[in-house]
Structure formats: structure tokens, C-alpha cells
Amino acid sequence: MKAATWDDLTSSVCVGDSIRYWAPKRGYRNATFNIVAINGNRLDLTTKEGKPVEVHRKDFGKVAVQFDDLLQGTISRQELTKTSGRTAYILSLIRELNERLKRPHPKLGDLLSANSRVFLKSEYGPVSNEWPAVSFSVEGYARKLAEIFDTKEDWVLFAGTDDHDLTPPEFRKKLLCVVRIRSGPPVDSGVLVDPGRLNYFQQGDPKKFAYSLQATAAWKLATLPAARDLLKEKYGVIGRGQARKSYLILSPTEIDRLKDLPVARIALSVLPLDEFHLAEVIDSLEDQFDRLLGLLTRRAQLGGTAVSRNAPIRIVKLTKQDLREMWAEQGGLCRLCNAAIPRSTRNFLLQVSADRTDSKVETYSRANTQLTHLGCNYGKNSADAEQFADWLRIVRVANSLNHDDD
Ligand SMILES: [Zn+2]
């Protein structure tokens, strides 16, 4: 049999999928692990006990080419474990992939359960890795959908507009794809969406598609059927007035009409959302402080576990009142670059962040903490003061040169 490939795997499995352990001879075990993130070259898994496991593309490839030999007994399981420390997971993934590839071409109805709801939304094109999100120009609509969407049952159905400027001809007035979204509030689209694409849409209207719900799985409609043929009434409404910026819930009869449509998976990179909490749209300084304290507390709880990227951070001794006073003392300026921190922003790099002046001290306290831009804090990271100053100087010089050209 042709060796299983990483691309086949990542375009077949979804975040949230639960995979049964399987090994040759032994067969299936009565236990599963879950897929939590799909990166370009890495799958993040978690066991039932909550242990995080990473499977890398390279390891997968090495095991996949030996899979047939293993089945035929030319090499032993023992020998295979020399190739990778993740063989229990990789063998199970290969088995799952092979089983899926054997199944017939799926139909939209296969993705639906009796409880599934389908939300019709007007769009300029299908979900892709450039635009791995369901995006709204009105925050309230994004929040409402996030609240009512069942991430295990429901789908958003994209229908192409007939806008001749923004919708490519092949997508106009067609049903495009169904999308499942991640739970949680909308985030700044700048974090998820290709900046070039976002800029293109936001010329003249900076709020256009500013609020995004991350796509965790998407299937395109293989034949791109005409929207009017199947959903005449709702498609007529969705293109007009406020409905254009919102969504409509399809009735069971309307869903029935869609069930036989063939679908094909859209391969999406689905990044872990942990960092995206930083990117929630923040409208006031007080909200920024709330977000910051929440983040520090969460990190303190995760401190020292594999989930935290940073060195263990154990104690947070800051209150909201401390943050208000620090803000006043610093005159609202970032202590790293000395420029103003905006009170409200959709750019997560400009949000207020807490930087420990001595990063060897684990505690966040008044004495050990200064307020900075999040971008500056990221930039400083483990650099020393001099390296950071060099970086700032270069960025500033480059910036002033650009402005001179204007
Ligand atoms: Zn700064």
C-alpha cells in the first residue's frame, strides 16, 4: 500500500477528533486520544489523562514508510520505536487515516446530526488558510453567533454574494462551504487572517470583517451549487440590509435539501487559541486591565506545566488598583519604548502588558512590574536592555526614513 502522507493526514483529521489507539496484532484498544491543534508540521494531541503530546511531521513520515513492513512482520514494533518515541500515536493515526480514505465521498448530510443547526452567511469566498475564520463587521453579531453556536453539532454555511467587485465570478451566488468554529468570544481578525487580504477589504472601512471566530474545520461544497436553486427565499433575504452583515438559521426543510450535496475537506491549519485570548477586541483601559489580570492568573495556574511557553510564573500580587496607579505613574507610556499605550485597541501588539523588570524573579508585584506594549514585551522577551535598545533604534530610523519619503 502507498505510504500514508502527512498532507493526507492533516487534511483528513479535525481539531476535536477523538482517535482510538490501534496497533498491529493487538488491534484497537478501548481508549482514545484527542486532536487539539493542527500546525504546519506538528499535531498537538492530548490523552484522556490530559497529557499533551506532540507528533511531528518528520516522525510521522519515518513511521509511515515502515508501516507495511510492520504489518508484514519484516520489522518488529520494538525496532520501530527506535524511529520515534510517538509510535503508539502515529500508528493509530495511520490506521484512522487509512480507514477514512476507504470510505465513500462524504455528503453534507454525513456531517449533520439530528440536532445540527445550519447558519447561512453571506461571504466573498470560502474559508481558506488565508482566511481561516468566520468574520463579521458588527461585533454584536459575532458575539451572538459565538454564544449560540454548538461547536460539536452546528455549521455555518457560506453563500457567495453577487458583488462584482469583491466576489470572484466562480463564487458569485453559489453555496461555498460549511464551517465549524471554535468556542469563545470573537477575536481581532488581524490575528487570524492574512494581513494583505484584510487590508484589501478594510480600505475605506476599518471595521469591515474586524471580528473573527476561528474556523476549526471546513468542507467545501464539491459542486458549488447555485444558492437560489436550493435556498431561494433565505438567499434573497441574506443579501439585503442588516442581514448581509449577520446570518440566518436554516429550517429543517431547508437543511434536508442540502443533505445530498457532496463535500470535500478544506485543509486548514488550526492554531491553538491560547494566545488569541490576548487578541480579543478591547474597548477600554479597564477592560485591558481585566484581560491582563485574567491572563496573568491563568498563566500562574499553568506555571511550570508544558502548556506554558514561558518559565514558571507562580505568583501574581497585582490588583486592578495597582494597575491603575502604575498607569498614572507612567503617564500611560510604555516603559520599554516610551511611546503611549492606547486605551482601546484592536491591535494586540499595542495592548497593555505587564513586564517583570527582573525576569529571574517569578513574582508579578508592584516592585517588579512595569506596564508596556505587548509587542514591546514580546520583543524584549529574553533580550537584554542593550539588544532591545538596538532593535528600537533600527525600527525608529527605518520608520522616520519611510516618512521622509512621503
Ligand atoms: Zn512600547
What is the CATH architecture of 108-266?
Answer: Roll (3.10)
What pTM value is reported for the model?
0.58
Using the mean position of ligand 1's atoms as its centre, give its distance from the Cα of residue 27 in Å. Answer: 56
Tell me the pLDDT tens digit for each residue of 224-283: 999 999 999 999 999 888 888 899 999 999 999 999 999 988 888 776 555 444 445 556
Task: Say whether pLDDT at 146 is over 70.
Answer: yes
CA 341 to ligand 1 centroid distance, Å: 7
The residues, any chain, with a CB within 8 Å of residue 71's CB and separated by 6 or more, are: 24
Ligand 1 center from residue 377 Cα (angstroms): 8
- For residue 129, pLDDT beyond 80: yes
Distance (Å) from CA 387 to ligand 1 centroid: 15
Q: How many angstroms separate the alpha carbon of residue 389 from the centre of ligand 1?
A: 11
* Domain regions of the chain by residue span: 6-102, 108-266, 282-402
The CATH-assigned architecture of domain 6-102 is Roll (2.30)
**How many whole angstroms from 374 Cα to the centroid of ligand 1?**
7
CA distances from 49 to 46, 63, 210, 312, 402 (A): 8, 25, 37, 22, 53
What is the 181 CA–ligand 1 centroid distance (Å)? 33
Tracing cell 450535496 back to the chain, one arrives at: 261
Q: How far is the CA of 375 from the centre of ligand 1 (A)?
A: 7
Q: How far is the CA of 403 from the centre of ligand 1 (A)?
A: 20
Of residues 243 and 44, more confidence is placed in 44
pLDDT, residue 301, reads 60
Higher confidence at residue 358 or residue 311? 358
Interval 310-356: pLDDT, tens? 444 457 788 888 999 999 999 889 998 888 888 877 677 788 899 88
Distance from CA of residue 257 to its chain's centroid? 31
Ligand 1 midpoint to CA 373 (Å): 4
Tell me if 6-102 shares its fold with 108-266.
no
Q: How far does the centroid of ligand 1 lie from the alpha carbon of residue 290, in Å?
A: 20
Residue 311: per-residue pLDDT: 43
Q: Which fold has domain 282-402?
A: Herpes Virus-1 (3.30.40)
